[in-house]
Amino acid sequence: MASDHMIRASDQDRDAVVTTLRDGYTAGRLTLEEFDERMTAAYAGKTWGDLRKLTEDLPVQPVLGSDIPGRTPTPTPAFQAHPPRSSGMLPPARRRHRPVAFLPLIALWIVLALASQSSHAIIAPTVALIVALVFISLARRR
């Protein structure tokens, strides 16, 4: 809303501004004196316009009016480092590797190991198993 600067501020709005100021102080954007001055002004603020003036030079603006029934305000950053995605979708989460996929290879290794008559004959199936597991693991990460 363009003319909402005259809306009376609630205690929750004042707390949201103080939280934003505290984050700015913690990040080093405000000195202790600035934080103290603005925090005092926030608790004395009467309207949304008064509160917005206190955080207009910070990168993230507080959410005002979140205590109004039926209203779902969104935080408004002062600037956006990255433009929003046009599709509105987030990248897919990485899938976890399932150990079940390795069961056929492990079974093959056990059969080859049992079929071999000497201990030296186990080396080739073991190396083959390790190489196969590495390739499968690398292929699934892509």
What does 6-40 look like in DSSP terms, one character per residue?
GSBPPHHHHHHHHHHHHHHHHTTSS-HHHHHHHHH
Lowest mean pLDDT among 4-18, 19-33, 45-59, 82-96: 82-96
In 10 A of CB 112, how many CB atoms?
16
Bigger pLDDT: 53 or 115? 53
| pLDDT tens digits for range 56-85 | 999 888 888 877 776 655 555 554 444 444
Radius of gyration of the chain (CA): 30
Bigger pLDDT: 12 or 92? 12
Give bridge partners of residue 77 from the DSSP assignment.
60
41 pLDDT tier (thresholds 50, 70, 90): very high
The pTM of the full predicted model, rounded to 2 decimals, is 0.49
